[in-house]
Structure 1
Amino acid sequence: MGVFDFIKDTGSKILKGSREEKMEAAREAANTAKAKAREQADSGGLAAKAREAADKAREVAHDAREKAAEQAAEAKEKAAELKEAAAEKRATARDAFVERRAEAKKADELEEYLEALGMGGDIDVRFDDGAVYLEGSVPDQETLERVVLAVGNVEGVEKVDDDLDVEAPADAAKMYTVKSGDTLSAIAKNFYGDANRYNEIFEANRPMLSDPNMIYPGQVLRIP
């Protein structure tokens, strides 16, 4: 091989080596770029996940706040209901106390009324929601009827329930409720056929009646 051939061959190798180095460098650059891209992609994925986690955390916190606010509102409403119920209970108890006191006062007034009529004796009176309850004893049926009529004709009394012992039982007299326009004479005429016997009805209803002309609609009278 001549000098020229040697130089040619050497130059060829140099050029060849230069191309290979460039290709290798290009491959390394490409690999580096790919790695960088993957790194950036991974970094972007982590950032996305971080954003997603942050969004989720904010959502959870928001839901928790809403739930807490809802529970607080429910608790406030429940407290208000309990307060209202307690107030109603106190009012009911107060009304019941006032009613019991008024009923006890009414019973005392009825007992005093019977005593004033000379019919108190051994009679206990209880008043409850418009009803009068009588307990004790009376000497005879006439007194029993007078007592029942006396308290029954008092304003505010709707019914009389007597549990009185009668020492000398007898047949009960008739009862008559006065109507508008009635007089004792007319009532006597109706029951006895004689208007002049009105005084018998008057006497049968003393001392509740103090005047034969002082009767009123709704009043109940004994008819002996």
Structure 2
Amino acid sequence: MGLLSFIKDVGEKLFGASEAQAATVDELKKELDKHGLNAEGLDIQVNGDKVTVSGEAASTEDAEKIALALGNTVGVAQVDNQLSAKQASPDAKMYTVQKGDNLWKIAEAQYGAGQGAKHTVIFEANKPMLSHPDKIYPGQVLRIPPLN
């Protein structure tokens, strides 16, 4: 899946994390559990501000969500997503939220003019990390799934 970049001073603050260092593997696994993402059988390694995750996820969507849940935490600048998926599907694009963005505006930019109503697709693709469509923040990385 590849290397994803994050802004390491934004995101969920986990115990033991700082802007210079990602949280421990145990804390990152707790973060995955909090979002209902299965960390069982995954190999997660932390090296400073880089997290590497490998193993097998149930689907491409789960693999992407796992990488985003790990990366959208304070102290993580990169996630090397080496996960494979039992059920493969087309990869989503990743988008870093900018100041002034909202999901409607992102949908218009990513899917084309007149497609703002597709913001619900982006919201659903980022659950459970997003709890409400209005709760996004600059620097957060979101999944933008392809439209069927």
Q: TM-score, normalised by structure 1?
A: 0.52
Structure with larger RCO (C-alpha < 8 A, sep 6+): 2
What SS does the corresponding residue of 2:123 show, helix, strand or coil? helix
- Report SS of the residue matched to 1:113: helix
Structure 1 residue 108 and structure 2 residue 37: aligned? no
State whether residues 22 and 50 of structure 2, in contact with CA within 8 Å, keep that contact through their aligned partners in structure 1. Answer: no
Residues 111 and 124 in structure 1, CA contact (< 8 A), matched pair in contact too: no
The structure 2 residue matched to 1:166, chosen from 79, 85, 90, is 85
Looking at structure 1, the residues matched to 22 and 130 of structure 2 have their Cα atoms a distance apart, in angstroms, of 26
Deviation at 1:124, TM superposition (A): 2.5
Distance 2:23 2:133 in 1: 31
Q: For residue 117 of structure 1, what is the amino acid of its counterpart?
A: H
Which residue in 1 is equivalent to 2:142?
221
Q: Does 1:117 align with 2:35?
A: yes
Alignment RMSD: 1.6
Aligned positions of 1:35-74 closer than 5 A: none
Percent identical residues: 43
2:126 corresponds to: 205
Greater fraction strand: 2
Q: TM-score, normalised by structure 2?
A: 0.76
Matched, 1:136 2:55: yes
- Contact preservation (8 Å) 1:108, 1:125: no
Change (3 A) 1:127 1:183: same
Larger radius of gyration: 1
Displacement of 1:104 after TM fit? Answer: 9.3
Q: Runs ≥4 in structure 1, deviation > 3 angstroms? A: none
Task: Return 5+ residue gaps in structure 2 as ranges.
Answer: 1-20
- Give, in angstroms, the shift of residue 105 of structure 1: 5.8
Q: In structure 1, the residue corresponding to 2:42 is in which secondary structure? A: strand
Mapped contact 2:22–2:76 kept (Cα < 8 A): no
Letter in 2 for 1:132: V
Count of residues in correspondence between the two structures: 122
Q: Deviations over 1:68-116 (max 9, x none)?
A: xxxxxxxxxxxxxxxxxxxxxxxxxxxxxxxxxxx79621100111012
Gaps of 5+ in 1: 1-102
Distance 2:64 2:96 in 1: 14
Mark the CA change 1:208 to 1:104 in structure 2 (over 3 Å): closer, same or farther: closer
Which structure carries more helix by proportion?
A: 1
